[in-house]
Amino acid sequence: MMEEQEIPQTNSTADNNGSAPEVQADENAAATGAGTENETEKLQAELQEQKDKYLRLMAEFDNFRRRTAKERLELVQTAGKDVIVSLLDVLDDCDRAEKQLAANDDIASQKEGVHLVFNKLRSTLQQKGLKAMESINQEFDVEKHEAITEIPAPAEEMKGKVIDEVTRGYYLNDKIIRFAKVVVGK
């Protein structure tokens, strides 16, 4: 008896859409490839758009940084202008006082004129926010005072307190701009 061997057959019959399976596989591969190419182009376009946004953002930031640096430099250069302009009146008074000192020998009037100039200077600086620090007879405070030396206290209650002020301290708008240099009792 002869055994029947199965011989694989190629199916050349058309399936339900009328194309051969090999042709259909080729079409599916082509369609998938076209879809991949289309998707790749879309991703590349999105990537290019994001790169463009990034570059624009970096350029804007760089322009902002340059502009603020320029503004800061201008502010620093002209920051004192307001104070200087207000002190020009005091400088004019100083010039007038100097002329009077040379022309007049009356000590009392010279003294009065100098006091007027000093008072005008103090009031002008106070208008700009400068305030003198009160230190004498106050407790020594390392946050406000710089001790130059210690001397024996003249009275027991003056121990640890400021006895003398070598250099006055100042506030500008309630912020210390110069510490008072003081002598402390021990």
- Give pLDDT, residue 121: 92
Spatial distance between the Cα atoms of 47 and 55, rounded to a whole number of angstroms:
12
Q: Which helix (H) or strand (E) holds 133?
A: none
Please indicate, yes or no, whether residues 87 and 119 belong to a single structural domain of this protein. Answer: yes
Count of structural domains, the chain: 3
- Give pLDDT, residue 12: 45
User: Does residue 179 sit within a domain?
Assistant: yes
User: Does residue 6 sit within a domain?
Assistant: no
Share of the chain above pLDDT 90, in %: 48
**Could you tell me which residue, 165 or 77, shows the higher pLDDT?**
165
Spatial distance between the Cα atoms of 134 and 167, rounded to a whole number of angstroms:
11
Please indicate, yes or no, whether residues 39 and 71 belong to a single structural domain of this protein. Answer: yes
Please indicate, yes or no, whether residues 171 and 124 belong to a single structural domain of this protein. Answer: no
Tokens of 175: 């912020």
Q: For helices 81-103 and 107-127, what crossing angle results, to 10°? A: 180
User: Does residue 52 sit within a domain?
Assistant: yes
Does position 180 have pLDDT exceeding 90, yes or no? yes
Does position 8 have pLDDT exceeding 80, yes or no? no
Please indicate, yes or no, whether residues 51 and 98 belong to a single structural domain of this protein. Answer: no
User: Does residue 50 sit within a domain?
Assistant: yes
User: Does residue 170 sit within a domain?
Assistant: yes
Spatial distance between the Cα atoms of 92 and 113, rounded to a whole number of angstroms:
13
Does position 185 have pLDDT exceeding 50, yes or no? yes
Please indicate, yes or no, whether residues 90 and 139 belong to a single structural domain of this protein. Answer: no
Task: Tell me, letter by letter, the H, E, C secondary structure of 61-86.
Answer: HHHHHHHHHHHHHHHHHHCCHHHHHH
User: Does residue 4 sit within a domain?
Assistant: no
Look up the CATH number of the domain holding residue 153: 2.30.22.10
State the residue range of the domain holding 58: 21-79
Instruction: Output the furthest CA–CA distance in the chain (Å, rounded).
Output: 156
Spatial distance between the Cα atoms of 124 and 126, rounded to a whole number of angstroms:
5
Q: Which of 79, 94, 112 is the last residue of a domain?
A: 79
- Give pLDDT, residue 79: 76
Does position 23 have pLDDT exceeding 80, yes or no? no
Does position 56 have pLDDT exceeding 90, yes or no? yes
Tokens of 121: 């200077």
Task: Give the DSSP letter of residue 26.
Answer: H
Spatial distance between the Cα atoms of 103 and 82, rounded to a whole number of angstroms:
33
- Give pLDDT, residue 83: 82
> 116-150: per-residue pLDDT in tens?
999 999 999 999 889 999 999 999 999 999 999 99
Report the range out of 23-27, 52-56, 95-99, 155-159 with the highest average pLDDT. 52-56
Does position 175 have pLDDT exceeding 80, yes or no? yes
| CB-CB contact of 140 with 160 (8 Å) | yes
| pLDDT band with cut points at 50, 70 and 90 for residue 82 | confident
Rounded mean pLDDT of 20-38?
58
Please indicate, yes or no, whether residues 59 and 27 belong to a single structural domain of this protein. Answer: yes
User: Does residue 162 sit within a domain?
Assistant: yes
Please indicate, yes or no, whether residues 104 and 58 belong to a single structural domain of this protein. Answer: no
